[in-house]
Homo-oligomer: A and B are copies of this chain.
Amino acid sequence: MALVNEHLLRLLDNYLFTDITRKVNSFKVTHPKAEVIHLGIGDVTRPIPAACREAMCKAVNDLGKAETFHGYGPEQGYDFLIEAILKHDYASRGVSLSASEIFISDGAKTDTGNLGDILRHDNSIGVTDPIYPAYIDSNVSSGRAGYIDEWGKWSNVVYIPCRMENNFIPPIPEQRIDIIYLCFPNNPTGAVLTKNELKNWVNYAIKNDALIIFDAAYEAYIRQPDIPHSIYEIKGAKKVAIEIRSFSKTAGFTGVRCGYTVIPKEVTAATLNGERISLNKLWLRRQTTKFNGASYISQRGAEAVYTPQGQEEVKTMIDYYMENARLMKKALGGTGLKVFGGENAPYLWVKAPDGMSSWKFFDKLLYDAQVVSTPGIGFGPSGEGYVRLTAFNDRRQCEEGIKRICHYL
């Protein structure tokens, strides 16, 4: 008989969002007239740039003529998009990469999950805590995370706490870790790493022969000029780091689906015999076996992000969300609440007052202000006592939501 992958069974149902939905639905039943405002969503809401829409309609029409028809594209993506990425995202910041080091995909979540395919099942994992749950979940499903304990921690995962006490900057661990996930600007805390702080991580990885998976999905939200957008701005990172990027939060592509992963030729991992294998080559094999390239239409849309018009429209969109974040942080801060993030990221990380738990504060915000947040505990043990608010809603909704929270407080 066919046997299942039992590791997947260890992956508990994602109670976080099920529980949020359940709680919101009960609230609505008992308060049918209340207008609930969602400030917990991690999805964008603004229309995608006209430059991207025009490019995508043109791409659709390309598919309507035999002369401009595009069938299967290269699994690693079209050169037109790769060249635009190399020029605008890397060369412009002094980072030199080659076309074969960029792999276009249908999104960062896919790549984050599938990267595990090229790595051995028993590597140890390190994550900052709190963290985007998909990093751990995808490792659980291949058995790499080990077993979960009563506090919700996995046995083969090192949790690096990011708390108010350390300004949400992950301290360099004392032990060796094989694979470390870093996401900066951070989801959920909104924290960023300075060049020096990121350099410490690169040096740790070099010294310990570790691999860093650097998720830079929110780099477009960085406002401070001295914060690195790419880990490759740090010397030596090309030897130890894979970087994941996305057009989802940059250009509103959460429904369009396009992202990319950078694997420099120098990044290697070892066989049991100690032979060093290029992860670039291994990822290419993985992708050519299990992937048929991202949509031609989406890739043309992503290319248009880099046109002058596209860049202008993306800037306007991000400015809009960041102005939301600024207004929200200012108003909440005025009440005495401790509010973090929101300056180089679209996320506010809010400490619950009076030592309240995440869920307790979530309930209060829902029942007393009709605002939906995301309980911090859903992002890991160190998220307890916080909630995440996002700046992705409409301005008026953000303002009204925050007004109600301030009023309740």
Residues of A within 8 A of B (CB): 1-6, 8-9, 11, 13-14, 43-48, 50, 53, 56-57, 60-61, 63-66, 69-73, 106-107, 109-110, 112-114, 117-123, 134, 137-138, 141-142, 178-179, 208-211, 252, 254-257, 269-272, 277, 279, 282, 285-286, 288-298, 301, 394
Is A286 within 8 A of B141, CB to CB? yes
Closest-by-CB residue of B relative to A47 is B64
22 example contacts (A-B, Cβ-Cβ < 8 A) are as follows A1-B209, A1-B270, A2-B270, A3-B122, A3-B123, A3-B269, A4-B120, A5-B117, A5-B282, A8-B286, A13-B285, A43-B72, A46-B69, A53-B60, A71-B255, A107-B292, A109-B291, A110-B290, A113-B291, A117-B142, A257-B293, A295-B295
In the assembled complex, the Cα of A246 lies from the Cα of B291 at a distance in Å of 14
| New contact pairs (12) apart from A5-B120, A43-B72, A63-B256, CB-CB < 8 Å | A3-B120, A3-B178, A3-B270, A4-B120, A5-B121, A47-B64, A60-B60, A60-B301, A106-B106, A110-B292, A141-B285, A257-B293
Which of A11, A66, A72, A277 has the largest count of B CB atoms less than 10 A from its CB?
A72
Report yes or no: A282 in contact with B71, Cβ–Cβ below 8 A. Answer: no
Cβ-defined contact, B11 with A285, below 8 A:
yes
Knowing A2-B210, A119-B4, the reply to whether A271 touches B9 (Cβ < 8 A) is yes
Residue of B nearest to A66 (CB): B47
Give chain B residues whose Cβ lies under 8 Å from the Cβ of A13.
285
Complex Cα distance, B6 from A272, in Å, reads 8
The one of B8, B137, B285, B301 in contact with A118, judged by C-beta atoms closer than 8 angstroms, is: B8
Residue of B nearest to A139 (CB): B289
User: What's the nearest-Cβ distance from chain B to residue A209, in Å?
Assistant: 4
Q: How far is the CA of A114 from the CA of B288 in the complex (A)?
A: 13
Contacts of A122 in B (CB 8 A): 3
Q: Are A45 and B71 in contact (CB under 8 A)?
A: yes
